[in-house]
Chain A
């Protein structure tokens, strides 16, 4: 097998390894963190998501350099593919020529893709000049796998819960999260599952009873919301708020907590509790603690009185 094909095969096997082993992500993360100043890696990182993409960009960089044989021109933060993945050797000039012939003959398993602008050698840090045919061809293979992997990882990996944190702090009075807080709900938990069917869920708890003025205010706001936003998502968001209002408006049950799941398909789950149930556990504990303190202070007061006499 020609060595350039070996390289591609190695990249695939690395990808397969990462896919199979969760620890591979950590490895990749470490690699990704090792090249923060690399202009090319950053540029690629902006366009592709997923951890392996960054690895792939590093690999690509290595391949990019190889035909010109100018590794010394790289920036100080650059990492050599060989350093990262022992056993993967950048192709030699002979191999490049062989690949060029293969491409020219149209018989090789080369997948051609448009190379995006970010590979513009004029803007790439330490880029040696316009890439040759070999560079383009190998790049194409690299990007193909990087895109492939990007698709796989984005399917399997849910968005980081931390990325939603800012949304809950929003001051936009018409955002869904803001409306939810005005409906009396507060974010309690974010659940995130990684797997074949990834999942992200947000659990909200009822923390504030609404008065009739609050309901009137919210309904007016929802009417304004309806005038401002008429897209499908906004309609669904409003219907969730209306459902909460409707259930909580009854004198028998209320939605104590509810869950919004984003993946694999968005849905809302409501947990109903009777209004007339006892105090929730935490309030009960708190109440008993306050009562305990009250008794304690009363005793102290009586002791002080006895002492004063």
Chain B
């Protein structure tokens, strides 16, 4: 009887000491001796500024160096999910959620426990020079203005539109001239997803396409007659000069964060009747929103946190990025352009992250 009691108490104590069971694990244990003395983070270009800012602070506080590598989002997730241990990245920062399929690949490679950090949001905006007409635009109109070929009687013809008025009589009498991100960047992919595929989604001519690849190619091939001009990365810097020199009515597709820095020079167009703002982005009312997500590999954390103890500082990174100083209002990430989540969501996200809740797609 006595031994049964001891066993029970032992079990309870054991359970409570498990990470995830308590309110939040002890922040110090991931300082234990390790296999690698620095953290490796893969970040997409969109998240680079945020990643660097957090990394700097973590290094300052813990003296643990952080190696931030910029990779396109899809390959970044693929690399991240290759496996656990010293040769693989510990954190990935991407402008979207990890898909079910990617998660499955992770699990196949023994990357079982991922901790998702929902940091906030960013968005793409369509900007124009101050003083130029500001008009409402929809993804459908952007598609008809910028696609290489547009549907015509269940067939496709080269895009004949030269003026936004040719696209829709409600649009202003302005030449179609759009400056946008360069091929191969996440921003262009995102622009294509939202404005080009979003614009052709639901058109009857595309309903007969069974194959997604054919449909995507047809929808997202941009016109190459000079009406859409690609700007070399980083767009945040390189879009300024061409935009300043461009004729009246030229539009630029840029991240919200970039526009915030130059809002004294540029206005933004409402998309589907909604202007981008912290509120509309946070409420998911604005169409071209993308989440800022970080994923941390728990297997690379300290043993007491359920990992193999191979990399120090991962829990400190989670603590730093989920702090109000980082992802809260007036936090340093907001100053870099992050749209913060509302207080309730922030609190929930912080708790889930500190508990090291396992990421799942169910």
Could you list which residues of chain A lie within 8 angstroms of chain B, going by C-beta atoms? 207-217, 219-220, 223-224, 242, 245-246, 249-251, 283
Cβ distance A248 to chain B, nearest Cβ, rounded Å: 10
A216 touches B193 (CB 8 A): yes
B96 touches A216 (CB 8 A): yes
Report Cα–Cα, A283/B99, bound state, in Å: 30
B101 touches A214 (CB 8 A): no
The answer to whether A207 and B192 touch (CB under 8 A), given A216-B96, A217-B198, A249-B99, is: no
**Within 8 Å CB of A223, what residues of B?**
284
**Within 8 Å CB of A208, what residues of B?**
207, 209-210, 212, 215
Which of chain B's residues has its CB closest to A251's CB? B101
- Point out the residue from A214, A250, A283 that lies within 8 Å of B197, measured CB to CB: A214
A-B contact pairs, 29 of them (CB 8 A): A207-B207, A207-B210, A208-B210, A209-B210, A209-B211, A209-B215, A210-B212, A211-B197, A211-B215, A212-B193, A213-B192, A213-B193, A213-B194, A213-B198, A214-B197, A214-B212, A216-B96, A217-B193, A217-B197, A217-B198, A219-B97, A220-B284, A223-B284, A224-B284, A246-B361, A249-B101, A250-B101, A251-B101, A283-B210
Report Cα–Cα, A207/B208, bound state, in Å: 8
B362 touches A213 (CB 8 A): no
Which of chain A's residues has its CB closest to B217's CB? A211
Q: B216 an interface residue at 8 Å Cβ cutoff?
A: yes
B216 touches A213 (CB 8 A): yes
For chain B residues 177-201, which have a beta carbon within 8 Å of chain A? 192-194, 197-198, 201
Q: B104 an interface residue at 8 Å Cβ cutoff?
A: yes
- Point out the residue from A209, A224, A249, A251 that lies within 8 Å of B212, measured CB to CB: A209
Q: B262 an interface residue at 8 Å Cβ cutoff?
A: no
- Point out the residue from B100, B104, B201, B211 that lies within 8 Å of A214, measured CB to CB: B201
Q: Is the interface of A mostly helix, strand, loop or mixed?
A: helix
Report Cα–Cα, A244/B362, bound state, in Å: 12
Cβ distance A44 to chain B, nearest Cβ, rounded Å: 44
B210 touches A242 (CB 8 A): no
| 12 other A-B residue contacts (CB within 8 Å) besides A211-B216, A213-B194 | A207-B207, A208-B207, A208-B209, A209-B213, A211-B215, A216-B96, A219-B97, A220-B284, A223-B284, A224-B284, A249-B101, A283-B210
- Point out the residue from A215, A220, A224, A242 that lies within 8 Å of B99, measured CB to CB: A215
The answer to whether A249 and B100 touch (CB under 8 A), given A213-B192, A213-B197, A214-B201, is: yes
B332-362 Cβ-contact flags toward A at 8 Å (1 or 0): 0000000000000000000000000000011
B204-224 Cβ-contact flags toward A at 8 Å (1 or 0): 000101111101100000000
A211 touches B100 (CB 8 A): no
Report Cα–Cα, A215/B209, bound state, in Å: 16
Which of chain B's residues has its CB closest to A242's CB? B362
Cβ distance A210 to chain B, nearest Cβ, rounded Å: 6
Which of chain B's residues has its CB closest to A227's CB? B284
Report Cα–Cα, A279/B213, bound state, in Å: 17
**Within 8 Å CB of B207, what residues of A?**
207-208
**Within 8 Å CB of B215, what residues of A?**
208-209, 211
The answer to whether A212 and B99 touch (CB under 8 A), given A217-B198, A217-B201, A246-B361, is: yes
Report Cα–Cα, A263/B95, bound state, in Å: 43
Cβ distance B22 to chain A, nearest Cβ, rounded Å: 29
Cβ distance A235 to chain B, nearest Cβ, rounded Å: 12
Cβ distance A282 to chain B, nearest Cβ, rounded Å: 11
Report Cα–Cα, A250/B107, bound state, in Å: 13
Report Cα–Cα, A215/B101, bound state, in Å: 11
Cβ distance A244 to chain B, nearest Cβ, rounded Å: 11
